Structure 1
Amino acid sequence: MRPSFGAGWRRLLAFRLWLQEKTGGSEVHATLFGAGFVGLLGGLSSILFRRAIEFFQLHLVGEGGNLVVAAAGLSWQMRLAIPVVGGVLAGCVLHYGLRLLNYKSSTDYMEAISLGNGVVRVRATLIKSLSSLFTIASGGAIGREGPMVQLSAMLASVTGRRFGLPVPRLRLLVACGAAAGIASTYNAPIAGALFVAEIVLGTIAMESFGPLVFASVIATVTVRELWNGAPAYAIPGYQLVSIWELAPYLLLGVATGLLGPVFLSILKTGERLFATLGGNIPLRMAVGGFIVGLLSLAAPAVWGNGYDVVSAILHREPLESALLPPSALWQGVFLLLVLKVVATAATAGSGAVGGIFTPTICVGAAIGYLFGYPVHLLWPATTASADAYALVGMGCFLAATTRAPIMAILMLFEMTLDYAIVLPLMLACVAAFYVAQGTGGESIYAEAMRRKKALAPDPRLATLRVGDLMKPNPPHIGERSHFGDAARFFVSNRFNYLYVTDGTNRFRGAISLHDMKPFLHDAEVAELALALDVMQEEFPLLTPAHTLSEAMEHFGRHDGERLPVVFAVDDPVLLGSLSKRDLLLAMADYAK
Structure 2
Amino acid sequence: MSSKHMKHVLTWLRLSHQSVAILLAAMIGIFSAFGAGLIRIGVPWARENFIQSTSSFMKTELILFLFPLFGALATYIFRKMIDKELRDGQGIAEVMVSVQEGRGRIPSKDLFINTMGSMISLIAGLPVGSVGPTIFLTAGLGSLFSTFTHVSPMKARTYLSCGAAAGISALFNAPIGGMIFALEMILGEYRSGYFSLIIVSSFSASLTSRWLFGNVPVFTVPPYTMYSMWEILFYALLGILGAFLGLFHSHVFHNFQKYWRFTHLPQKLILFVSALFVSFFGLLTPLIYGGGFPAIEKALMGQLSLTLMLSLLFLQLIGNSMVLSAGFFGGIFAPILFTGAMLGGSFGMMMQLFFPTIVSQPGAYALVGMGAALAATGRAPMTAIVLLFEMTNDYRMILPLMITTVISFSLRDVFDEYSIFTMKLRHHSKYKWVAVRKYH
Both structures adopt the same fold (TM-score exceeding 0.5):
yes
Task: Provide the residue aligned with 1:406 in structure 2.
Answer: 382
Aligned counterparts, 1:50-449, within 5 A: 50-62=40-52, 75-99=60-84, 108-278=94-264, 280-317=266-303, 319=304, 329-449=305-425
Q: 1:427 to 1:591 in 2, by over 3 A?
A: closer
More strand by share: 1
- In the TM superposition, what is the alpha-carbon distance from 1:116 to its structure 2 partner? 4.8
- What is the distance in 2 between the residues matched to 1:457 and 1:233? 36
For these two proteins, the number of residue pairs brought into alignment is 422
- What is the distance in 2 between the residues matched to 1:451 and 1:160? 30
Question: Larger radius of gyration, structure 1 or 2?
Answer: 1
Q: 1:379 to 1:152 in 2, by over 3 A?
A: same
Q: Give CA-to-partner distance per residue, 1:344-364, whole Å, 9 cap, x none.
A: 122222122111111111111
Contact 2:129-2:332 at 8 Å conserved across structures: yes
- In the TM superposition, what is the alpha-carbon distance from 1:226 to its structure 2 partner? 0.7
Amino acid in the other structure paired with 2:141: L
Aligned counterparts, 1:10-21, within 5 A: none
Q: Which has the higher contact order (CA 8 A, sep 6+)?
A: 2
TM-score normalised by length of structure 2 = 0.88
Amino acid in the other structure paired with 1:93: F
- In the TM superposition, what is the alpha-carbon distance from 1:197 to its structure 2 partner? 0.9
Describe the SS at the equivalent of 1:381. coil
TM-score normalised by length of structure 1 = 0.66
- In the TM superposition, what is the alpha-carbon distance from 1:423 to its structure 2 partner? 0.9
- What is the distance in 1 between the residues matched to 2:53 and 2:164? 30
- In the TM superposition, what is the alpha-carbon distance from 1:76 to its structure 2 partner? 4.3
Amino acid in the other structure paired with 1:292: V
- In the TM superposition, what is the alpha-carbon distance from 1:49 to its structure 2 partner? 2.9
- What is the distance in 2 between the residues matched to 1:349 and 1:59? 29
Q: Give CA-to-partner distance per residue, 1:292-324, whole Å, 9 cap, x none.
A: 10111111111011111111112134x3xxxxx
Describe the SS at the equivalent of 1:231. coil
Contact 2:36-2:170 at 8 Å conserved across structures: yes
Q: Give CA-to-partner distance per residue, 1:374-430, whole Å, 9 cap, x none.
A: 222222222332221111111111111111111100111122323321111111111
- What is the distance in 2 between the residues matched to 1:33 and 1:358? 31
Amino acid in the other structure paired with 1:91: Y
Aligned counterparts, 1:520-535, within 5 A: none
- What is the distance in 1 between the residues matched to 2:224 and 2:433? 49
> Which of 18, 28, 41 is residue 38 of structure 1 equivalent to?
28
- What is the distance in 2 between the residues matched to 1:268 and 1:291? 18
Task: Provide the residue aligned with 1:483 in structure 2.
Answer: none
- What is the distance in 2 between the residues matched to 1:275 and 1:186? 36
- What is the distance in 1 between the residues matched to 2:117 and 2:326? 13
Query: What is the root-mean-square deviation of aligned Cα atoms in Å?
Result: 2.9
- In the TM superposition, what is the alpha-carbon distance from 1:59 to its structure 2 partner? 5.0
Amino acid in the other structure paired with 1:218: S
- What is the distance in 2 between the residues matched to 1:180 and 1:449? 25
Structure 2, unpaired ranges of 5+: 1-10
Q: 1:451 to 1:82 in 2, by over 3 A?
A: same
> Which of 17, 26, 29 is residue 19 of structure 2 equivalent to?
29
- What is the distance in 2 between the residues matched to 1:162 and 1:333? 47
- What is the distance in 1 between the residues matched to 2:203 and 2:264? 43
Task: Provide the residue aligned with 1:544 in structure 2.
Answer: none
Q: Give CA-to-partner distance per residue, 1:68-113, whole Å, 9 cap, x none.
A: xx9xx955433321101112202321342144xx988879322211
- Which shifted more, 353-362 or 268-277? 268-277
Q: 1:279 to 1:226 in 2, by over 3 A?
A: farther
- In the TM superposition, what is the alpha-carbon distance from 1:225 to its structure 2 partner? 0.5
- What is the distance in 2 between the residues matched to 1:373 and 1:350? 34
Amino acid in the other structure paired with 1:270: F
- What is the distance in 2 between the residues matched to 1:254 and 1:63? 47
- What is the distance in 2 between the residues matched to 1:30 and 1:224? 25
Amino acid in the other structure paired with 1:94: R
Structure 1, unpaired ranges of 5+: 1-12, 17-24, 65-69, 320-328, 460-588
Q: 1:233 to 1:130 in 2, by over 3 A?
A: same
Q: 1:29 to 1:279 in 2, by over 3 A?
A: farther
- What is the distance in 1 between the residues matched to 2:181 and 2:193? 16
- What is the distance in 2 between the residues matched to 1:381 and 1:58? 43
